[in-house]
Structure 1
Amino acid sequence: MALDEKFSNSKTSEEVSDSKGVEFTLNDEKKVLVTTEIESIASTLDSQLDKNPFLDPVVAEHYREVYEKSKYECRGVFDPHFEWEPEEEKRLVRKLDIRVAFSACLMFASLQIDRGNLSQAVTDNMLNDLNLTTNNYNTGNTIFLVAFLLAELPSQIISKALGPDVFIPIQICTWSIIAMSQGALKGKTSFYVTRALIGAVEGGFIADLVLWLSYFYTSKELPIRLSWFWTTLSTVSISISLAAFGILRLRGVSNLEGWRWLFIIEGAITLLVGILSFYLMVPSAVQTKNWMHPKGWFTEREQKIVVNRVLRDDPSKGDMHNRQPLTPRMIWKSLSDYDLFPLYIIGILAYAPTATLGAYQTLNLRQLGFSTFNTNLLTIPGDFIHIVLLLIITWVSERVNDRALICLVLPIYSVPLVGVLAFWKGTMKDVWGTWAVTTLVLGGPYIHAILVAWVSRNAYSIRSRSVASAVYNMAVQLGSIYAKNIYRQDDKPLYRRGNSQLFALSLTMFPIIIGTKFYYIYRNKQKDNIWNKMTTEQREDYIRNTKDEGNKRLDFRFTH
């Protein structure tokens, strides 16, 4: 034998039999070589299975049955053995970035314009024109957020039944018309009503759009695209701050105040985006041909690449079809998924400082003595810092494959700055110092893109992902509700009590984020203990017959 010849000079040997009962001799050196080769082969197989779990025929057959049962719209191009070149995938991802990610950013811009221009409107004496107080302004913001929060889950239910490609354009067009109607506000009642209507229509939009993005991107690609998503938020904030300078100067034209023109003009712009979004969105990668897209987006080969790379990354993305409604049982199972609760808690608490300071930034700058024009310009540096830090931390989180530790950057950054606002005696007296600290807080590391992708990844089923994305956004809105009521009339102008509360909330993020990481490590170890004790036959039987779903499956591991 070749191995015998190679190691003929070795001293120690041992007789063994192969699977057919034929005896042959292995010495110590040969045993080391064989063991190394076996380990190498096993490592290669594990690596291949990580990239393509469907190479295991049991797994492939199980999910083929799942996709057929759910009538998954892309099941026709599912192919466990289909291969493609890395360069092909790179070109295709670039196409997706233009067709999908850019479109999502444009639609998200329309959301931010109509929900964010209120802060520009108040710099033009909107509150005085409507005889509103600071507390009325707080109430209006609270009504908006409560309506936004309450609409999250119903919006997901409607969107899942109609499809995001149908429901999202309807949402944008509807809220744009309501936003334009704010040009006719008369007082407190009409202010409250329009705030409620805009919040109710916009609620669920973000979760709907994230679900649509997940149809085209892998879990590793999604956070970066979501960082572009929220970069759009800051870019829009800069743009509308600059636009507000020109639009607010229309005060007096047709006997209308500048802030009325702001609502009318910007609402009309987002209405155009809403109409365009009917063209920009498609149901899925295999449903891109229609009267608006006669040639479709992809070739047949590109369709197979899009679908199979997403399924190999997350096989659960085919367990429902894109027009399948959520049943009450599905909703309840998703709502009671305790493994996602730690991420919801982070969502409630993480953004309190920026939500509070963001809502009052323009009012406080006017209070400091800045003009309407300078106030709008001075909001821009914070948005710029926000963009830079958001892109950096989201990229780093995927690069090092860690979410919790990267999220700790937020409290490390914000605690000392909020502490300055809470305890510095020069607050509101040192005009430029106060502006600088506030700007740095608002520009702080924004972990929202990381959290949204984290929720999506740990949900591990379309059913749970749809509801969990909505619940996470509800948690964020709940945090915004209390955050935007922390500053009160009797606490003006230094807001010492309010800033002390923000400081305490920032401190709580340390144990919560660290605790979340340890919780997921613990849950993975629980699964490992059971899975590693199972034989190959038991594992195959589990994959075929288990009633466990989503992230409760023993062959799923939580990311952290």
Structure 2
Amino acid sequence: MAIIVWSKAKAPSPSNGEGSLSDSSSGTPTDKKANVSVEAFPLAETVADQNYWWFKKVKLDPNAVATQPSVYDDPDVAKYYQPRDDYENLHRFDPSARWTWKEEWAVVRKVDVKILIFACVAFMALELDRANLSQALTDNFLTDLHMNTNDYNLGNTVFKLSFLCAELPSQLVSKWIGPDRWIPMQMILWSVVAASQYGLAGRTSFLTCRALLAILQGGFIPDMVLYLSYFYTSRELPIRLSIWWTFMSVADILASFIAFGILHMRGLNGKSGWRWLFLIEGIFTGIIGIAAFFLMPPSPTQTASKLRGRKGWFTEREETIIVTRALRDDPSKGSMHNRQPITPKLLYKSLSDYHLWPIYLIGLTFQLPMTPPQTYLTLSLRSLGFDTFQTNLLVIPSQVGHIITMLGITFLSDYIGKLAIAGIIGQIWALPFLASLYIIDSTTANKWTIWAITTLLLSFPNTHAVQVGWTSRNSNTVRSRTVSAAMYNMFCQAQGIIGSNVYREDDKPRYRRGNRALVAVNSANIVIYLGVSVYYKWVNKRRDNIWNSWTDEEKEAYVLTTKDEGNKRLDFRFAY
């Protein structure tokens, strides 16, 4: 869903640029100097199913026009949706441009290679540094620091709370100076803290490092989501995000193998293996952070540099395709430039956008049933009798399953066009395995049975990538998209804080009280998804009734004079 494509035979031109999508409170003039005239160039028929350069499920003529219909096809309507004058890609925006499927697939493939691959590598670095605590646990980490599982829970709580608190401030800084500058700075700073864990001495230093690491890592995920949205359309972004998130699981798989080797260094220079693990992986992140300064261009039209080449990564034709297809898909992407800060007024507008809070609620609860089993996976496997190195290898199958099911559910949600249904499928998957953990006595059952149940549970079809894309699509302004990405992730972190305290020391070893609560939350999630779907469907139907009752003149008058912004516009429809 997005801005409704509509047209008008003839409409008077606004004299002062009113009705543009620019945020009027940004302090930058919004009147347009350029007059866009769109002739009757051919357009492609609307393609209901997404086509990917690696998998084209709808047979299309590669030489046929790929340009999809948009509000820019009627010159009398197009002028109300023009990008702001200081939009960094304005010089490559051409509503009259047409391109073939062959050109589009080639351009998207090039963006995937140049932009997405490094984004995935950067995410792997984040995951290695925030999740290697799990591998450290298998090397007597708690014993060496004279701590117990409650201290471990507290460390996870401190980490997630600090991560949560840093999300929005980090996103605001990113929008102000640009994610291409802020993300590399983040990575280098947190790599220093990550490597410093080599010198942990006890509970206090452990908690301090977890807090510092989270503060510096907080915001990385929404920062990168915002950055990727500059290059992809709303239909393409969820798929790319699912690929991006699968690299988190790839990192976890690699971490197990890396830990298998590094933890054998226990005793080297009289130090524990987990100390070498923190040091080596922290140094690796620092190297990736330095590389990020050179491998993250500010925008599709700003790729030229000494290391990226004097001519940049894309030709003028490719830049025109990238920019134009992004704005044709979502005109709101031209409402701010990539170095424009979010003012307090714009921040308030974004935070008070109640239409996005249903998705935030989903973010708070949808992963909660799986969080405690995931957090305690290595500790649980050790308690079942598996040794250090068996444990690190036995976590791999759940990560592989997670990759397969996340990609599968993302493609399915795109195919059926029902985002909430995809979420329900994930919750239904988890329910029987959660019930089994509650019913079966893990102290007497075969350890391989418990491992199999836990592995299948943690392989559930995670719709996190779908929901990040869902939040982005339903924002409909750059400032709202900036804030909503952080807000959604903050609610996910809040879920992590709750999940880190479900399994308690006095509930060991079966955690029956905790598992009973997880089954209840899992069941409630199904109802929440249904409620969110009904809400968005109701809002869309209400707007359809109003919009379709208007004449062309009334629609034009609304677009020209409305003070509604973002997803509150009556010509916008929510995805669900």
1:298 aligns with 2:314: yes
Distance 2:470 2:407 in 1: 16
Specify the code of the residue in structure 2 equivalent to 1:224.
I
- Give yes or no for contact 2:168–2:219 (8 Å, CA) kept in 1: yes
The residue number in structure 1 matching 2:526 is 510
Deviation digits for residues 7-35 of structure 1 (CA, Å, limit 9, x no counterpart): xxxxxxxxxxxxxxxxxxxxxxxxxxxxx
The residue number in structure 1 matching 2:75 is 57
Instruction: Calculate the TM-score normalised by the size of structure 2.
Output: 0.88
The residue number in structure 1 matching 2:333 is 317
- Give yes or no for contact 1:157–1:326 (8 Å, CA) kept in 2: yes
Distance 1:188 1:544 in 2: 61
- Displacement of 1:429 in angstroms is 3.2
Match of 2:123 among 101, 108, 111: 108
The residue number in structure 2 matching 1:553 is 569
Alignment partner of 1:124: what SS? coil
- Correspondences of 1:456-467 after superposition (within 5 Å): 456-467=472-483
Match of 1:117 among 132, 139, 145: 132
1:527 aligns with 2:548: no
The residue number in structure 2 matching 1:365 is 381
Deviation digits for residues 108-157 of structure 1 (CA, Å, limit 9, x no counterpart): 01110000100000100010000011100000110000000000000011
Match of 2:452 among 415, 436, 443: 436
Distance 1:249 1:354 in 2: 30
Alignment partner of 1:459: what SS? coil
Distance 1:253 1:105 in 2: 33
Taking every aligned residue pair, what percent have the same amino acid on both sides? Answer: 50
Distance 1:383 1:436 in 2: 13
1:93 aligns with 2:108: yes
- Displacement of 1:291 in angstroms is 2.2
Alignment partner of 2:418: what SS? coil
The residue number in structure 2 matching 1:348 is 364
- Displacement of 1:249 in angstroms is 0.7
Alignment partner of 1:409: what SS? helix
Distance 2:47 2:418 in 1: 21
The residue number in structure 2 matching 1:203 is 218
- Give yes or no for contact 2:194–2:282 (8 Å, CA) kept in 1: yes
Distance 1:267 1:406 in 2: 36
The residue number in structure 2 matching 1:6 is none
- Displacement of 1:50 in angstroms is 6.3
1:222 aligns with 2:237: yes
Distance 1:346 1:161 in 2: 28
Match of 1:402 among 418, 433, 439: 418
Instruction: Calculate the TM-score normalised by the size of structure 1.
Output: 0.90
- Displacement of 1:44 in angstroms is 7.2
- Give yes or no for contact 1:58–1:544 (8 Å, CA) kept in 2: no
Alignment partner of 1:284: what SS? coil
- Give yes or no for contact 1:163–1:323 (8 Å, CA) kept in 2: yes
Alignment partner of 1:51: what SS? coil
Unaligned runs of 5+ in 2: 1-41, 49-65
C-alpha distance 84-499 of structure 1, shift in aligned 2 (>3 A): same
- Displacement of 1:165 in angstroms is 0.2
Unaligned runs of 5+ in 1: 1-40
Specify the code of the residue in structure 1 equivalent to 2:108.
V
Alignment partner of 1:67: what SS? coil
Alignment partner of 1:445: what SS? coil
The residue number in structure 1 matching 2:435 is 419
Distance 2:149 2:168 in 1: 30
- Give yes or no for contact 2:107–2:318 (8 Å, CA) kept in 1: yes
1:79 aligns with 2:97: no
- Displacement of 1:248 in angstroms is 0.4
Match of 1:481 among 497, 503, 508: 497
The residue number in structure 1 matching 2:552 is 536
Specify the code of the residue in structure 1 equivalent to 2:291.
L
Alignment partner of 1:353: what SS? helix
Match of 2:487 among 454, 463, 471: 471
Alignment partner of 1:98: what SS? helix
- Displacement of 1:354 in angstroms is 2.2
- Give yes or no for contact 2:382–2:391 (8 Å, CA) kept in 1: yes
Larger Rg: 1
The residue number in structure 1 matching 2:60 is none
The residue number in structure 2 matching 1:282 is 297
1:256 aligns with 2:271: yes
Calculate the aligned-residue CA RMSD, in Å.
1.8
Specify the code of the residue in structure 1 equivalent to 2:129.
D
- Give yes or no for contact 2:67–2:99 (8 Å, CA) kept in 1: no
- Displacement of 1:52 in angstroms is 2.3
The residue number in structure 1 matching 2:283 is 268
- Displacement of 1:426 in angstroms is 4.7
- Displacement of 1:60 in angstroms is 1.5
Deviation digits for residues 24-69 of structure 1 (CA, Å, limit 9, x no counterpart): xxxxxxxxxxxxxxxxx9x9799999622201223321222x422x
Distance 2:76 2:500 in 1: 52
C-alpha distance 428-230 of structure 1, shift in aligned 2 (>3 A): farther
Distance 2:443 2:215 in 1: 37
Specify the code of the residue in structure 1 equivalent to 2:124.
A
Deviation digits for residues 314-372 of structure 1 (CA, Å, limit 9, x no counterpart): 11011000000001111111111111111111110010122211110001111111100
Alignment partner of 2:242: what SS? helix
Distance 1:308 1:263 in 2: 45
1:339 aligns with 2:355: yes
Deviation digits for residues 521-559 of structure 1 (CA, Å, limit 9, x no counterpart): 000011111111111011112112211100001111001
- Give yes or no for contact 1:108–1:229 (8 Å, CA) kept in 2: yes
**Which moved further from structure 2: 535-544 or 136-145?**
535-544
